[in-house]
Amino acid sequence: MKYYSLNNNSAKISFQEAVIKGIAPDKGLYFPEKITPLSKSFFKNLHNLDKNEIAFELIKQFVGNEIPENELKSIIADTLDFDFPLVEIEKNVHSLELFHGPTMAFKDVGARFMARCLSHFNKDNENEVTVLVATSGDTGGAVASGFLGVKGVNVVILYPSGKVSNVQEKQLTTLDENIKALEVDGTFDDCQNMVKTAFLDKDITDKIQLTSANSINVARWLPQMFYFAFAIKELNKKSVKTVFSIPSGNFGNICAGMMAQKLGLPIFKFIASTNANAVVPLYLETGNYSPIKSIQTISNAMDVGDPSNFIRIRNIYNNDFNKLKKNLESYSFTDYETRNAMYDIYINSHYIADPHGAVGYLGLKKFMMKNKQIQGIFLETAHPVKFLEVVEPVIKKSIKYPQQIMDVINKPKKAKFIKVYEELKHFLIN
């Protein structure tokens, strides 16, 4: 499998090179040269397969022969050593819980898969790689956990000061070893712009090998296909159309779902549910894509004003606006609506949703008001304990820390505060 830049001004490269480089020299995101649909019999037989077998079939064409089959199966088994429950909270409304991994966020899947791929590629190599990543919340913790102790890999995480939750900050600033955190005076978009600038700065790249673990990296992005298939496997009503509502920030998650659909997974429609950062809802309404400065909300992991992966989504549909619009709905919700949804879900279903899951729920319910003969799944992307400051005042109940959080919450924070790009550059070079 070869990968090409969506800016179409760089050479095609292998999966290994795409993982190590992260972003193309022409600033473009990498995309697989072809997508070959899987057999219909595979999807009909999902209920007879375990999650590792499903994941292997979904990902193998994108890895090709660059990782031996047995090694790839081992990587998948290590990546997916936790559960992905599908919980029906109302009739035909399901929560897909993606928070049962080590950092209690959906990004554990991509981060763990990428870390293990990079470890495989680096096992006979004495050269070090620096993973440089920006986080709006959960990515940092997932990457820190996934890459902790990986040979030949250093990790530098940028996060916006005061704009991640206390639990999220502890998860990315307390691990030491090969993990370093930089607290940035700014927004997530500022962090992401610093990362993109560093990748194109020859003063840095001539001295160290940089790669990214944001969802711009193909090894972080593509494994997110897995849990869409896990959910379809678990559904009882196979004949009813299935809609997924995804709380969306950088749009890597929903983009991966669309890739699974291209492979043949029977998904009727996608809903991109956003907070006040409504770039995509406005695009689908007007046809005009206009990035904005990110707006801070209670669903902070979605506070993205210029979602990187949306260019991949447009590419999946050959940049045909009408084709995209047939498969994607997108709605924006306020913090007020999000809090009300969290309260209603708790009172009516005795289910505690985090703010991001609540946004996904709202999008699904809005779609279902006009579309009756469907079953819907919203993605519960993080455990509510990661957002205690928001959740507990809404449901008026204390949430007990799970063990994964107890392991880090009382550790001292270690982070370097920076304001401008030159401080990041100095840190990386020295």
| DSSP reduced 3-state for 104 | coil
pLDDT in tens, 301-323: 899 999 999 999 999 999 999 99
> What pLDDT sits at residue 372?
86
Whether 378 is in a domain gets the answer yes
Cβ(28)–Cβ(10) under 8 Å?
Answer: yes
Per-residue DSSP letters for 179-243? EEEEEESS-HHHHHHHHHHHHT-HHHHTTSEEE--STTSHHHHGGGGHHHHHHHHH-S-TTSEEE
What local confidence, expressed as pLDDT, does residue 60 receive? 98
Residue 260 sits in which domain range?
A: 85-102+221-398
Predicted TM-score of the model (pTM)? 0.91
- What confidence score (pLDDT) does residue 135 get? 87
Q: Mind listing the pLDDT tens digit for each residue in 406-420?
A: 888 889 999 999 999
pLDDT given for residue 335 in this prediction:
98
The pLDDT value given to residue 261: 98
Reference 221, options 274, 258, 172, 189; nearest CA is: 258
Give the tens place of pLDDT for each residue, 60-97: 999 999 999 999 999 999 999 999 999 999 999 999 99
Q: Which of 107, 163, 170, 196 is catalytic?
A: 107
Is 107 in the active site?
A: yes
For residue 85, what are its two tokens?
A: 């429950």
Residue 214 lies in a domain: no
The total domain count for the chain is 1
C-alpha to C-alpha distances, 243 to 84, 361, 375, nearest whole angstrom: 18, 12, 6
Domain membership flag for residue 394:
yes
Q: Is residue 55 domain-resident?
A: no
The backbone torsions φ and ψ at residue 41, rounded to the nearest 5 degrees and listed phi first, read -65, -30
Q: Per the domain annotation, does 66 fall within a domain?
A: no
Q: Output the pLDDT for position 21.
A: 87
Task: Check residue 227 and give its pLDDT.
Answer: 95
Q: What is the pLDDT of residue 312?
A: 97
- Coil, helix or strand for 320? coil
Handedness of CA 113, 118, 123, 124 (dihedral sign): positive
- Residues forming beta bridges with residue 210, ordered by sequence position: 130
What is the number of other CB atoms lying within 10 angstroms of the CB of residue 63? 23
pLDDT for the residue 203: 95
Is residue 328 a part of any domain in this protein?
Answer: yes
User: Looking at residue 194, what is its pLDDT?
Assistant: 94
Tell me if 155 is assigned to some domain.
no
Q: Report the C-alpha dihedral over residues 175, 176, 178, 181, rounded to 10 degrees.
A: 80
Low-confidence residues of the chain: pLDDT under 50: none
Output the pLDDT for position 220: 94
Q: Does residue 355 sit within a domain?
A: yes
Q: Residue 308 sits in a domain of what CATH number?
A: 3.40.50.1100
